[in-house]
Amino acid sequence: MTLPRLDPHQRSIDYLRISITDRCNERCLYCMPEGLVEWKERHEILTYEEILRIARVAARIGFRKFRVTGGEPLIRKDVVPFLSELARLPGIQSLGVSTNGTRLSVLAKDLHKAGVQTLNISLDALTPSVYHQITKGDVHAVVDGIHAALKAGFERIKLNTVLIRGLNEDEIWPLIHFAGEHGLILRFIELMPISTTDVLTDANFLGAGEVIRRLSQRDRLIPLETVRLGHGPARYYRLEQNAVTIGFIGVMTNLHFCEACNKVRLTADGKLRPCLGNHLEVDVREPMRHGATDEEIEHIFEQTLLDKPLEHTFRDQYQPARRMHAIGG
């Protein structure tokens, strides 16, 4: 079978982002706010064996980069042995984990030993009260986790900050300094209309362009046009005086955002989702539980790639049907 590397829009698709749980130990306003959570039943969630089988098929047909996410992936039981098996699948070139960082002080070393190469750690603020306001969590646990991750020796660690006007604007420079001190890449993510909460309003939206303009008043941003620091469509800059690399994930304002898209998502309940900002999903769980062969699973991947939209629909009055934590960010 030919490798389905190109989608109908000539984008090379080789990145599978796998959500292993829809649950989390934090309650970020923009993702899983308190009171708005509907968990999937346990039997709806793919077992590790099922995920590994899907990943094996994906690797066989040309997927090379894998990232495990959630919900919070590091709260799922036995995540380390699972990652260790995933890392050993033939064909996988890169394995990363996205995490809120709260369990890293316990798990960082084991994750590294298991074969995880890169970490994306969410950090929306350094001021404890602001961090708590956004996530309901404790920033000290995350900072401890970041230190543990630095010690463990991962190939690359990125910090991710969701921009929220009126909430973490004043955290931007402290986060830049923190990233600089620890040699970390810091990425700012535009708020996406994925949840249904009050935080996703025009008033709370802070675009990448505005942040770039503000930063330029204090330092020179040198565009790193040719640098690809990871597998996603972020735009990177080097801050000249602060000597920090920062990136912007301008999902909402960058009209070329989808041109560089190279991924497909596997939701925790076994749906292949070719685009975060489009409701289209292709079920792989039920066919698999009803005896689908590996070739049939390959065919489901092929269909998903054929249906991958040219662009997300977040700018078109998108109405979320499935919240971010249930997709896998």
Q: Among 19, 94, 100, 120, indicate the residue that binds ligand SF4 (CB under 6 A).
A: 100
For tokens 């995540």, the residue is 79
Q: Does 304 bind ligand SAM (CB under 6 A)?
A: no
What is the DSSP code (8-state) at residue 197? S
Q: Does 28 bind ligand SF4 (CB under 6 A)?
A: yes
- Report d(CA 204, CA 202) in Å as an integer: 6
Q: Does 21 bind ligand SAM (CB under 6 A)?
A: no
Q: Which stretch binds ligand SAM (CB under 6 A): 23-31, 57-65, 147-155, 212-220?
A: 23-31
Give the Å distances, CA to CA, from 324 to 31, 110, 196, 203, 306. Answer: 6, 27, 10, 21, 23
Q: Which stretch binds ligand SF4 (CB under 6 A): 21-29, 246-254, 257-265, 299-307?
A: 21-29
**Each residue of 280-299: b (16+ CB within 10 Å) or e?**
ebbebbebbeeebeeeebbb
Q: Does 160 bind ligand SF4 (CB under 6 A)?
A: no
Beta bridge partners, 264, equal 16
Which contiguous run of DSSP H or E holds residue 296? helix 294-306
x-or-dash string of contact with ligand SF4, 37-76, rule CB under 6 A = ---------------------------------xxx----
Question: How open is the CA angle 40-274-77, to the nearest 5 degrees?
Answer: 35
Q: Does 24 bind ligand SF4 (CB under 6 A)?
A: yes
Picked from ligand SF4, ligand SAM, none, the partner binding residue 191 (CB below 5 to 8 A depending on kind) is ligand SAM
CB of 283 to ligand SF4, least distance (A): 23
- Report d(CA 180, CA 256) in Å as an integer: 29
Q: Among 13, 18, 31, 185, indicate the residue that binds ligand SAM (CB under 6 A).
A: 31
The residues of the shown chain that bind ligand SF4, judged by CB under 6 A, are 24, 26-28, 31-32, 70-72, 100, 122, 135, 324-325
